[in-house]
């Protein structure tokens, strides 16, 4: 009797527990996944989506700290060789076991000259199998940011790539496609069920994921919806559970609607002004460039009322800043993060001392569709400068034409946004924005800023494996940048998503959507 009762209770329990309610999360973003091949692109939205399907060796946890994923531990055996102990009993979505061979094949695949994302692992020379669950990764000289880089490198299944002719990488730039462009076999928390560009991608949960799920989803339906108004309408009409990002102008309306809420946090992306320090200004051909004088640059900073921009233009959602990296990023130092005070008299005095008592002419170039309220911010700045005599002729244009012109150095003063991604480290600001253009450095230093101290610190920090020393170097370099007004930092732009009640999604300042932390009711 008792056993029968127990048995039927067990069955009942199983029956109640079994049909675990299908928890579907439907969400939309303005952009779509570019490809399913993680090595064929360099776009951070696609990388963030593919993280649901693939695992890297190390990953970012809830507070964005690096934590073990497919590797359980690591150490540097030589300054240029890192040894990784791999996780056992991990299976790919097709049932194949995960071993060192998969890591070696994946690393070799991304090191192929044809891989679009090759630059994301630029310093790695090769990966070597030590045994089935140990792998050595060899870099060109000591390289402190290897783990940061590896956090964005997903591991593919070697057997599957061999069987499908996908050992060579795809490339969205040259149009090389492989079976991996439309099929994703990873070890991640979700599997791709269907992938239709511009119409939507569906993921289903991977019940055999090696990690203990912190989410309760069985299914994710992703739809790209480009139009802001439609995206908001679809959320409010109940067709979506989450929109990321939510347009700034609609935040009030969404939070005022019962059943919906807005979640916000400052993003890592820092908006700043890049200053041309070539001998001449485009706006003043034939004359000496006033921006060469640090007093002029300080005057320009003093003349910008950052609080007003924050309140009026950014609707109190941004965070004003005095340094070039956001607080969570290594290299950030609180003492650097103090903007020059808004002081028109001081600005005029500095201009007079520099020999421009009546100000000067310059140009201000800004995108109008790249950063949040970018055009309005520039309009405000131009009018603030006018009050101290700096006549900045404002020109705004679409990102498609703006960035190529910026790259070619056509601007005097222009807006730049920098999020330090993918490494999420202050070194990216040094190596891309603050150093001269050579040896692969200075890729986005459009104003040709240069400072010998920063050059030296950048090259030292590049090979410093002691993390405390390295961070001190970054902070020192960023202090020099602030003291010499290399760039004028404006604000950290806000990140806003909107969800219906019952959806719980943690937000991250790198703007990645990590739904393996999401729960829905």
Partner 1 sequence: MFKVLISRLGQAALVMLVVSAVSFVMFRYVGDPVATMSRENASVEEKAELRRSLGLDQPLVVQYGRFLGRTLSGDLGISYRNQRPVTQLIAERLPATLELVLVATVLSLALGIPLGVLCALRPNGVAARLVQALSLIGISTPTFVTGIVLILVFAVSLGWLPSFGRGQVVDLGWWSTGFLTASGLKSLLLPGITLALYQLTLIMRLVRAEMIDVLSSDYIRFAKARGLPTRYIHFRLALRNALMPVITVTGLQIGSLIAFAIVTETVFQWPGMGLLFIQAVSFVDIPVMAAYLLFVGLLFVLINAVVDILYAVVDPRLRARSA
List interacting residues with partner 1 (CB under 8 A).
32, 34-35, 40, 42, 119-120, 170-177, 181, 196-200, 223-227, 229-231, 233-234, 236-239, 398-401, 403-404, 407, 418-419, 421-423, 428, 431-432, 437, 440-444
Least Å distance between CB 455 and partner 1? 16
Dig out the tokens for 142 from the structure: 């000591």
CB–CB of 238/45 below 8 Å?
no
**CB closer to partner 1, 64 vs 294:** 64
Residues 6+ apart with CB under 8 A from 112: 118, 168, 169
Instruction: Please spell the DSSP secondary structure of 136-155, one letter per residue.
Output: EEEESS--TTHHHHHTT-BP
> Cβ 35 to partner 1, closest distance in Å?
6
Least Cβ distance, residue 16 to partner 1 (angstroms): 31
Q: Which is nearer to partner 1, 67 or 198 (CB)?
A: 198
Residue 147: φ, ψ to 5°: -65, -40
Looking at the Cβ atoms of 132 and 369, the one nearer to partner 1 is: 369
Q: Could you give the CA distance from residue 290 to residue 156 in angstroms, rounded to a whole number?
A: 53
Task: Choose between 102 and 425: whose C-beta lies nearer to partner 1.
Answer: 425
Distance CA 266, CA 38 (A): 27
Alpha carbon distance 228, 225 (integer Å) = 8
Q: How many CB atoms lie within 10 A of CB 18?
A: 8
Rounded to an integer, what distance in angstroms lies between the CA atom of residue 116 and that of residue 423? 17
Least Å distance, CB 162 to partner 1, is 22
Closer residue to partner 1 in complex, CB, 327/443: 443
Q: How far is the CB of 65 from partner 1 (least distance, A)?
A: 21
**90 or 454: whose CB is closer to partner 1?**
454
**CA Rg, the chain, in Å?**
25
Q: What is the DSSP pairing of strand 242-243 with strand 24-29?
A: parallel
- Beta carbon of residue 222, minimum distance to partner 1 (angstroms, whole number): 12
Smallest gap, in angstroms, from Cβ of residue 257 to partner 1? 9
Closest to partner 1 by CB, 312 vs 399, is 399
At 169 the three-state DSSP class reads coil
Of the two residues 133 and 441, which places its CB atom closer to partner 1 in the complex? Answer: 441
Across the beta sheet with 71-78, what order do the strands follow?
71-78, 81-86, 134-139, 124-131
Return the number of the residue (293 or 375) whose C-beta is nearest partner 1. Answer: 375
Closest approach of partner 1 to the CB of residue 425, in Å:
11
How far, in Å, are 180, 289, 324, 520 from residue 489 at the CA level? 41, 21, 6, 38
d(CA 176, CA 116): 10
| Shortest CB 149 distance to partner 1, Å | 11
* Least distance (Å) between residue 383 CB and partner 1: 28
| Vertex 290 angle, CA 284 and 296, to 5° | 140
Please answer whether residues 392 and 381 qualify as being in contact, where contact means their C-beta atoms are separated by less than 8 angstroms.
yes
What is the C-alpha to C-alpha distance for residues 94 and 372, in angstroms, rounded to an integer?
42
Peptide bond into 245 cis (omega under 30): yes
Tell me whether residue 81 or residue 432 sits nearer to partner 1 (CB atom).
432
d(CA 169, CA 113): 9
End-to-end CA gap in the chain? 39
The answer to whether 350 and 295 have CB atoms below 8 angstroms apart is: yes
Of residues 25 and 100, the one with the C-beta less far from partner 1: 25
In 3D space, the residue among 34, 44, 82, 38 whose CA is nearest the CA of residue 56 turns out to be 38
Which CB sits closer to partner 1, 22 or 400? Answer: 400
**Least CB distance to partner 1 at residue 44 (A):** 8
Compute the least distance from the CB of residue 443 to partner 1, in Å.
Answer: 4
H-assigned helices in 129-279: 146-150, 158-163, 228-236, 251-256
Residues 6 or more apart whose Cβ sits within 8 Å of residue 87: 68, 69, 70, 71, 72, 98, 133, 210
Q: How far is the CB of 198 from partner 1 (least distance, A)?
A: 5
Q: Which is nearer to partner 1, 299 or 430 (CB)?
A: 430
């Amino acid at each position: 009797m008792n056993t029968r009762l127990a048995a039927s209770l067990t069955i009942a329990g199983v029956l109640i527990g079994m049909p675990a309610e299908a928890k579907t999360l439907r969400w939309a973003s303005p952009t779509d996944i570019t490809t399913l091949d993680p090595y064929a692109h360099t776009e951070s939205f696609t990388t963030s989506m593919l993280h649901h399907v693939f695992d890297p060796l190390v990953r970012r946890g809830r507070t964005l700290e690096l934590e073990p994923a497919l590797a359980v531990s690591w150490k540097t055996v030589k300054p240029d060789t890192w040894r990784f102990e791999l996780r056992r009993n991990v299976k790919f979505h097709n049932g194949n076991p995960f071993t060192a061979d998969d890591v070696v094949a994946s690393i070799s695949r991304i090191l192929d000259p044809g891989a679009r994302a090759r630059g994301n692992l630029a310093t790695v020379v090769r990966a070597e199998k030590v045994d089935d669950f140990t792998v050595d990764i060899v870099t060109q000289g000591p390289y402190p940011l290897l783990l940061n880089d590896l956090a964005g490198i997903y591991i593919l299944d070697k057997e599957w790539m061999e069987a499908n002719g996908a050992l060579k990488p795809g490339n969205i730039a040259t149009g090389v496609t492989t079976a991996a462009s439309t099929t994703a076999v990873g070890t991640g928390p979700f599997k791709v069920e269907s992938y239709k560009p511009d119409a939507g991608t569906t993921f289903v949960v991977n019940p055999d994921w090696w990690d203990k799920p912190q989410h309760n989803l069985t299914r994710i339906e992703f739809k790209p919806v480009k139009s802001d108004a439609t995206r908001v309408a679809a959320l409010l009409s109940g067709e979506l559970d989450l929109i990321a990002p939510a347009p700034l102008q609609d935040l009030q309306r969404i939070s005022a609607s019962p059943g919906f809420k807005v979640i916000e946090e400052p993003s890592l992306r820092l908006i700043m002004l890049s200053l041309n320090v070539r001998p001449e200004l485009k706006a003043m051909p034939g004359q000496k460039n006033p921006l060469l004088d640090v007093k002029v640059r300080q005057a320009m900073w003093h003349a910008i009322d950052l609080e007003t921009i924050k309140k009026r233009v950014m609707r109190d959602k941004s965070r004003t800043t005095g340094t070039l990296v956001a607080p969570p990023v290594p290299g950030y130092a609180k003492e650097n993060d103090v903007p020059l005070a808004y002081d028109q008299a001081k600005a005029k005095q500095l201009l007079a001392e520099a020999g421009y008592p009546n100000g000067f002419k310059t140009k201000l170039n800004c995108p109008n569709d790249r950063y949040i309220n970018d055009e309005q911010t520039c309009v405000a700045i131009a009018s603030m400068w006018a009050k101290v005599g700096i006549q900045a002729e404002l020109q705004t244009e679409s990102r498609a034409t703006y960035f190529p012109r910026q790259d070619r150095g056509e601007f005097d003063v222009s807006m730049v946004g920098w999020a330090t991604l993918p490494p999420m480290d202050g070194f990216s600001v040094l190596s891309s924005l603050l150093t001269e253009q050579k040896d692969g450095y200075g890729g986005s230093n459009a104003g040709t800023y240069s400072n010998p101290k920063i050059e030296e610190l950048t090259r030292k920090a590049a090979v410093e494996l002691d993390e405390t020393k390295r961070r001190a170097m970054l902070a020192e370099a960023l202090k020099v940048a602030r003291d010499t007004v290399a760039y004028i930092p404006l604000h950290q732009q806000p990140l806003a998503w909107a969800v219906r009640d019952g959806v719980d999604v943690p937000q991250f300042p790198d703007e990645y959507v990590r739904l393996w932390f999401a729960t829905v009711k």
